[in-house]
Structure 1
Amino acid sequence: MPTVAVPQLSVADLDPATNLDAVTERVAALPDRVDVAVFPEYALTGFVADERACDAALERDGPELDRVRSVAAAHDLAVVAGYLERGAGDDRLYNALAYVAPDSDTTVYRKRHLWAGEADVVTAGDERVVVETPAGSTGLVTCYDLNFVGDSAAFAAERVDALFVAGAWPAAHSENWRLLLRARALDGVRWVVGAGRTGARNVPDAPLTEYAGRSAVVRPDGHVAAALSRGERDLVADLDPAVLAEQREFIPVLEATENDGSTRRNSRPGSRNKNGV
């Protein structure tokens, strides 16, 4: 039975070194039985919607992601973490979400649906991504992507067993975050693991933002199996395959779902393709 953890995190914006230390410490403190640790959106870098973002951006094969790979290998678990990515060979920035397997193979999803001022700095990705994880085939999702029902339907057509969602949801709209996590679990009859940023962004000359936290694991029937409030705590939950099978028999919507759009599926767990993606 796979076990997931969400180490709910208060991110240090524009400070990758501090964030990497926090991720390292939080993973080390998890129970040995954890198979996947899911961190929030921009967990490694933080973000502001101006030119300062460039200085915090990371390269996919750079030393910071290598450190995450070392952490995953040392603790024999997968790490899912968001970061601001500098594209290889160009000046574009992306809101990226990395799935780093224990053997260091890395799959990266680039957020497709950008929110508000984010689009002034970040380039949208153009592919949905599914990766094989201890929870089964799993879609990678970032924050505002939750609002797009077409994406949820496409993942249903792929019959994914889980969604791993990295979020940085404003506290003022935290009920929407929780509602959408539940909706995406139910409409695809799958587990949803939502990692919400907590704390606040308090960067000079940038809007002050309080974050919701409220990380949750949601069952395939839409019920919340485990959840946090706003503290920097660890959520640990088992994703029982029997529950998934039972709910899919009870709610057979996947039998009638058609494919919607382009989804990239990796050939093996956590692998890069020939282009390094």
Structure 2
Amino acid sequence: MATVAVPQLSVSDLDVEGNLDTVAARAAGLPDCVDVALFPEYALTGFVADERIEAVALDRDGPELDRIRAVADADDLAVLAGYVERGTSDGSLYNALAYVDPSGDTTVYRKRHLWADESDMLTAGDEQVTVETPAGSTGLLTCYDLNFVDDSAALAAERVDALFVAGAWPAAHSENWRLLLRARALDGVRWVIGAGRTGARDVAEARSTEYAGRSAVVRPDGHVTAALNRDERDLIAELDPEVLADQREFIPVLDDHSE
């Protein structure tokens, strides 16, 4: 029985140290039973679509990710957090999501589907990524990736048990976020945990955005079993493997698809 937590939070755009302090404090405040803590898209760096983002981009082997590894070790839980990543080969920038387990092993997913002005500054990733987590085999997705049914189908073909989704969804379209989390749970008969950014981006000379929050845990039948609105507090839920097994027996779409 895996226990997941989403410490829903706002993000300080372009303030890496402040965001690292927040993530560390929120992770340390979770109950001992938590196996995985999920933080939102760009949790460590924030994002603005201009050259300022280059100054806060992180290396996956740099000291900032080392601090996340230290958090995972100290609190004996896995941590999922988004950030802008600087590529090692040519310096390209990516919208990245790091899954760090308590031993420090790190798996990085680069968002494959960039939204709006992200494409002005960032390069899209080119690989789907799965990782073994306390929830079982888990696919990693970021925000707009939810809209792409082909990606969902590919992860269903791999029979992943869960999707971990980091988001920074605009508040004006929050119903789309909730609907897509539910749809991706049902069409792959799997758990979906969505970690949504709350608060607002308020950076000089950057477009202001209010964020939806609305982090949620969705059962494999598409039912929202636990959810938040826009407040900054912790969402904690248990993922019962018997629920997954029962729903896959009741809705055998994965078996029928392979026939």
Which TM-score tier does this pair reach, normalised by the shorter chain? over 0.9
Contact 1:42 1:84 in 2 (8 A): yes
SS where residue 85 of structure 1 aligns? strand
Q: TM-score, normalised by structure 1?
A: 0.92
- AA of the residue aligned to 1:54: E
CA distance in 2, matches of 1:91, 1:247: 44
SS where residue 172 of structure 2 aligns? helix
Q: Deviations over 1:116-165 (max 9, x none)?
A: 11001000000000000000000000000000000000000000000000
SS where residue 23 of structure 2 aligns? helix
Contact 1:72 1:79 in 2 (8 A): yes
CA distance in 2, matches of 1:256, 1:200: 44
Instruction: For 1:175-186, list aligned pairs within 5 A.
Output: 175-186=175-186
C-alpha deviation, 1:89, in angstroms: 2.7
- AA of the residue aligned to 2:28: A
- AA of the residue aligned to 1:80: L
- How many residue pairs get aligned? The number is 258
C-alpha deviation, 1:91, in angstroms: 1.9
CA distance in 1, matches of 2:151, 2:89: 29
- Residue 211 of structure 1: aligned partner: 211
- Residue 190 of structure 1: aligned partner: 190
CA distance in 2, matches of 1:153, 1:219: 17
C-alpha deviation, 1:78, in angstroms: 0.2
CA distance in 2, matches of 1:91, 1:99: 22
Q: Which runs of 4+ in 1 moved over 2 A?
A: none
Contact 1:39 1:80 in 2 (8 A): yes
SS where residue 247 of structure 1 aligns? helix
- Residue 132 of structure 1: aligned partner: 132
| Runs of 5+ unmatched residues, structure 2 | none
- Residue 104 of structure 1: aligned partner: 104
CA distance in 1, matches of 2:152, 2:91: 31
Q: CA RMSD in A?
A: 0.6
Instruction: For 1:1-277, list aligned pairs within 5 A.
Output: 1-257=1-257
User: Identical aligned pairs, as a percentage?
Assistant: 78
C-alpha deviation, 1:234, in angstroms: 0.3
Q: Deviations over 1:143-199 (max 9, x none)?
A: 000000000000000000000000000000000000000000000000000000000
Q: TM-score, normalised by structure 2?
A: 0.99
CA distance in 2, matches of 1:89, 1:182: 38
Contact 1:140 1:163 in 2 (8 A): yes
